[in-house]
A = this chain, B = another copy of it.
C-alpha cells in the first residue's frame, strides 16, 4: 500500500480513501500498525482541526434521529460532518451501534457527510486508540465537525470526553424519579445537556426535565474552562428540528470562548498527554499477551489457585521470566 498516496487522497477529502485509512488504523496486524502510524504522521502536518463533539445518551433517547437531524442542519450551514461510533460492547453483543444501514439514511447519502460504525473490537484500549486516530484522520480530510457517538455504558463516556472538545448528553423527557438515572460522573463532564423529543405530547415533560437539569447543573462546582452560563441544558426536537439552531449556537459560543481564552489548546495538549500515557500502559501490558507469556501465567496460576504458591511470589516469578 502506498501510504503517501493514501495520505494525499485523505487530505484531498476522498471519502473512500478516508474509509480505507480508518480500516488501516483499526487493524490489529503489526505491519498495518506501522503503516497506520506513518499515515497519521503524513496527514498530521495539515494541522486541520475540526470541532470534536462527544455525544452520549442511553438507548431510547433518540440518538440516531438526533444525529440525523443535527447532521443535516450542519450540512445546511455549509459544514462537512463526520460521525464515528464508539461501542465497547459491540464485540460482546454481536451488534454495533451505527451498524444498522437504515440508521441516518438521509445523512448517509450526503456528500458532505461521513458515517462510520463502531468496529467489533473487545478491548477498550484498542477502541480508544482506533477512535482517536479515526478522529484525526477525519480532521485531516477537512471535516468541520466530528461527532463521536457513544452509549451510556461503562467507561466509554469518559473515554469519548477525553478526545472531544465538547461533550453533549442527550436525554429523553422524564418524570422526577427517573432523573436519578444519570450518573454523577456524566453530569460532571457534560458541557451541554440536550433534552430530546421536546415535541407533541412530551413537550411539557421536556420543559420540566430541562429545568430540573438546569437546576442540577447549577449545583455542580464551577469549572475553569466554562464561561458564564455553562454548562447548560436546552431542549431539542429531532422531529420538528426545534432547538437545533440554539443548540448549535451554544456549542459554537462555548468553543469560541474556549479558543479565545486558551482553554482549547490547553485541553487538546492535556488530552494528547493522556493518550500518550494510556498507549504506554497498554504497550507495556501487551508483553503479557504472547503465547509464551500466557502459558507461563496459566502454569503459575494453577499453583496459585491450589495454594502452593502465593500471588505475590507468582507475580515475582512471572516478572523475572519476562526479565523485568
Please list the residues of chain A having a beta carbon within 8 angstroms of any beta carbon in chain B.
37, 40-41, 44, 129, 132-133, 180, 269-270, 272-273, 275-285, 287-288, 297, 300-301, 304-307, 310-316, 318-319, 322, 324
A44 to B310, CA, bound (A): 9
**Within the assembled complex, what's the spacing in Å between the Cα atoms of A282 and B315?**
9
User: Which one of A279, A297, A312 has the highest number of Cβ atoms from chain B below 10 Å of its Cβ?
Assistant: A312
Do A305 and B272 have beta carbons less than 8 Å apart?
yes
Complex contact B37–A312 (CB within 8 A)? yes
Q: Is the CB of A279 within 8 A of B315?
A: yes
Whether the pair A280, B307 counts as a contact (CB closer than 8 A) is: no
Which residues of B are found within 8 Å of A277, using beta-carbon distances? Answer: 297, 301
Contacts of A318 in B (CB 8 A): 280, 283
Q: Is the interface of A mostly helix, strand, loop or mixed?
A: helix
Report yes or no: A272 in contact with B312, Cβ–Cβ below 8 A: no
Asked whether A315 lies within 8 Å of B180 as measured between CB atoms, the reply is no
Question: Contact between B312 and A133 (Cβ–Cβ < 8 Å)?
Answer: yes
**With A280-B288, A281-B285, A318-B280 as contacts: A313 and B275 at CB distance below 8 Å:** no
Q: Which of B279, B310, B315 contacts A311 (CB 8 A)?
A: B279
From A274, which residue of chain B is reached at the shortest CB distance?
B311
Q: Are A315 and B285 in contact (CB under 8 A)?
A: no
Q: Could you say which of B129, B304, B312 contacts A273, with CB atoms under 8 Å apart?
A: B304
Least CB distance, A182 to chain B, in whole angstroms: 11
